[in-house]
Structure 1
Amino acid sequence: MARIAIDMDNVMADIYSHYLNYYETSHGIKLDPQGLHGVPEGEVLPEGLVRKFLLTPGFFRTAPVMPGSQEVIKALMEKYEVFIVSAAMEFPQSLREKLEWLHEHFPFISWHNIVLCGSKTIVNADIMIDDYDKNLRHFKGRQLLFTAPHNVHLTDYERVHNWEEVAAALEVEVPAARV
């Protein structure tokens, strides 16, 4: 059975919309998501606020689920060995929050299949789904770049824009009742 490594932030969890919601709540300013295309993730908000939000207790725990991710990951698990792999060590409070988030939104994923690490260069899988070039660049298997505002100009990878495209690329059917 082929093994898939799936990233969390901006792949399973919609971190960009979460940044924008946090910013609107804290500053009363609604930003246009279209204006973020091609902007590095750390620069999407002024005054170093991205890092501040990432260090805010509860930030990772309350991130919205990426549409379609739950249903497609369930379908992938019927055909592949699925591991959730997240580089969480830079923000230590995220370890517990990400684990709690996964237990709430993806209770069907065993703790055996969750890897919270520092560098993803250690990952040994056949397929990796990630939004960051730095994580895919050294990966030896099939590389699927999940579209996020910061990576819209990258062309070196097989791109998937959403979870429906992940299902098609990896040839899994998601029952209509589950979509």
Structure 2
Amino acid sequence: MNKKTIAIDMDGVLADVELQIIDHYNAAYGTTLTKESIQGLSEEEAFNGRDLLIEILNKDNFFRTLPVMPDAVESVRELQKNFEIFIVSAATEFPLSLAEKVAWLGEHFPFIKWENIVLCGSKRIIKTDYLIDDHCKNLDYCIGKPIMFTAFHNINQTHHLRVNNWKEAVAVLNETL
């Protein structure tokens, strides 16, 4: 029997990109942003325009040093028992991130085979049974069942099934078995 498939986004789902961006932004611009202070804002609103955000995301080692989301490693291991897991990241927007993301996954998720890592541009090509992502721009095109992972920029979005953390994600997916 073939296992159902799950595509899991990296940034904002496996990796705490919010915290990393806030830390870099505060250090570079002398601000005091917190996760709480940017809730409900778009990325452009939270970080004063796209140019500053792009500058931060293009720094060497930005993606290589991202913190792991709480319970992510254990949860992906748990899901791997019953699902085929693919890590899917729209990484080509930031070409420096490609090698950093592969290295990051090798360090934190060494049990994910290289064949199950998909670094792409648009996620519209991904055809899995489930997609866990923090961006509606990806979830809206999901062929399977979209699952929105809560992030500051999607708090006000309500048109996808939402999970707030990895324990909730595992519970939702295990209910489908």
TM over 0.5: yes
Runs of at least 5 residues in structure 1 that lack an aligned partner in the other structure: 173-179
Distance in 1 between residues matched to 2:74 and 2:44, nearest whole Å:
30
TM-superposed deviation, 1:42? 3.0
Q: Which letter maps to 1:39?
A: L
TM-superposed deviation, 1:57? 1.0
TM-superposed deviation, 1:50? 1.2
Does the alignment pair 1:137 with 2:137? no
TM-superposed deviation, 1:27? 3.4
Distance in 2 between residues matched to 1:80 and 1:100, nearest whole Å:
23
Distance in 2 between residues matched to 1:100 and 1:32, nearest whole Å:
28
Does the alignment pair 1:157 with 2:160? yes
Q: TM-score of the superposition, structure 1-length normalised? A: 0.92
Aligned residue number for residue 20 of structure 2: 18
TM-superposed deviation, 1:24? 2.7
Distance in 2 between residues matched to 1:42 and 1:110, nearest whole Å:
34
1:135-157 Cα shifts (integer Å, max 9, x gaps):
01111211100000000001100
Determine which of 141, 146, 149 is the counterpart of 2:149: 146
Identical-residue share of aligned pairs (%): 47
Determine which of 89, 92, 99 is the counterpart of 2:92: 89
Q: Which letter maps to 1:127?
A: Y
Distance in 1 between residues matched to 2:149 and 2:66, nearest whole Å:
17
Aligned residue number for residue 111 of structure 2: 108
Aligned residue number for residue 36 of structure 2: 34
Runs of at least 5 residues in structure 2 that lack an aligned partner in the other structure: none
Q: Secondary structure at the match of 1:150?
A: helix
Distance in 1 between residues matched to 2:9 and 2:69, nearest whole Å:
12
Distance in 2 between residues matched to 1:43 and 1:169, nearest whole Å:
31
1:117-138 Cα shifts (integer Å, max 9, x gaps):
0110000100000001010111
Distance in 2 between residues matched to 1:125 and 1:118, nearest whole Å:
16
Decide whether the 8 Å contact of 1:24 with 1:30 is kept in 2. Answer: yes
User: What CA RMSD, in Å, does the superposition of the two structures yield over aligned residues?
Assistant: 1.3
Q: Which letter maps to 1:14?
A: D
Q: Secondary structure at the match of 1:73?
A: helix
Decide whether the 8 Å contact of 1:42 with 1:51 is kept in 2. Answer: no
Q: Which letter maps to 2:74?
A: E
1:21-57 Cα shifts (integer Å, max 9, x gaps):
1123333432132121111123322363211111111
Does the alignment pair 1:5 with 2:7? yes
Q: Which letter maps to 2:22?
A: L
Q: Which letter maps to 2:5?
A: R
Q: Secondary structure at the match of 2:26?
A: helix
Q: Which deviates more, 43-52 or 78-87?
A: 43-52
